[in-house]
Amino acid sequence: MIYKNIVRTNNPMEMLPFERDFDFFKSYYPQEFTYPRNSEEKDKIKQFQMYILIAGEMVPNSTRSNDNVLSRSLLFIDLDDVNETETEFLQKISNKLSKVNYCLYPTLSHITNEKIRYRLVLELDRSVNRLEYETLLLGISSDLGIDFDVDESNKVWSQGQGAPVFTEKSKNSPIFYQEKEKPVPVDNFLKKIKESSIYKKNKRNQASYKGFDNYQYTGEKYTGKLLNKIAEGVTEGDRNIWFTSLLGSFFNQGVTAENAYKLATVINENFLDFPLEDKELITIFKSIMARELRKRGGEIDKPIT
């Protein structure tokens, strides 16, 4: 299934009726925006206007969360800050992916022949779970052989990826849609990845987490869920909603306002790739604290000013 929504909404993800998830990109007409002049305009588009997608299976009528995403059917990879010309980049993608079905389109920040930022979508021959998805991201990213940065947000299981868009600075860049080849053979590729040196090196780097592969998380304990949520962090476009939920959880569990704010600042500085500005975090905090005061009809404790 393909699920569509915008970031800043509490509504469930909208399920779109496609027999084959990859067909979505064949018929979808990109949204058009004016190129954002600054990060504030970009965040506004990404949070309130631009559609995001999840391909796979979710809990029916649910919002985005790691618990609500059950599987993935398409692999999304954001290719940012490519250190090659656009022509070289597109040729390498074409050569590397000549035998599989894929869609490649410029993202909101892309500027033709200047700031090369594309989103790659690969059709998979079967749905995958979270660990398989992360392994495929690692292997396919390295296998492409292109000098680029992979957006860390791709690794977030419930991350919604932006649908195709155009601005006046990307309208001359092409959208590629190759559908007459084959989907990526998941089992064969997973085997290839696990035999590769980059996978083994990555596993060695995680040696301090020995035993994780055999650990079965039951999701029974509230504290465990909360700590997992903090450790996993959040993507740039979802920070406000994430902190709203997190601070609400703190207050519901009896954390004082002063300690809730201290924890929020530590989390913001150490667990987010793109921390919020202090004034924005304070605004969210005050809003949640005011809501809690209204609910309880009295003071929580000394407020942050």
69, part of any domain: yes
| Secondary structure of residue 35 in the 3-state scheme | coil
201, part of any domain: no
Q: What is the pLDDT of residue 197?
A: 66
213, part of any domain: no
211, part of any domain: no
pLDDT tens digits along 127-143: 999 989 988 888 877 67
CB 181 within 8 A of CB 100: yes
For residues 74-98, average pLDDT:
88
Tell me how far apart the alpha carbons of residues 293 and 8 are, in angstroms, rounded to a whole number: 24
How many domains does the chain contain in total? 2
| Residues 29 and 161 occupy one common structural domain | yes
Q: What is the pLDDT of residue 178?
A: 94
Q: In sequence order, which residues have a C-beta less than 8 Å from that of residue 223 and are 6 or more positions away? A: none
For residues 108-112, average pLDDT:
93
63: which DSSP letter? -
CATH of the domain at 144: 3.90.920
- pTM (whole model) above 0.85: no
| Residues 116 and 24 occupy one common structural domain | yes
Tell me how far apart the alpha carbons of residues 129 and 57 are, in angstroms, rounded to a whole number: 10
Identify the domain containing residue 60 by its residue range. Answer: 2-193
Gyration radius of the chain's alpha carbons: 21
| Residues 179 and 234 occupy one common structural domain | no
| Residues 168 and 232 occupy one common structural domain | no
pLDDT tens digits along 67-85: 899 999 999 998 887 788 8
Q: In sequence order, which residues have a C-beta less than 8 Å from that of residue 37 and are 6 or more positions away? A: none
| Residues 109 and 38 occupy one common structural domain | yes
204, part of any domain: no
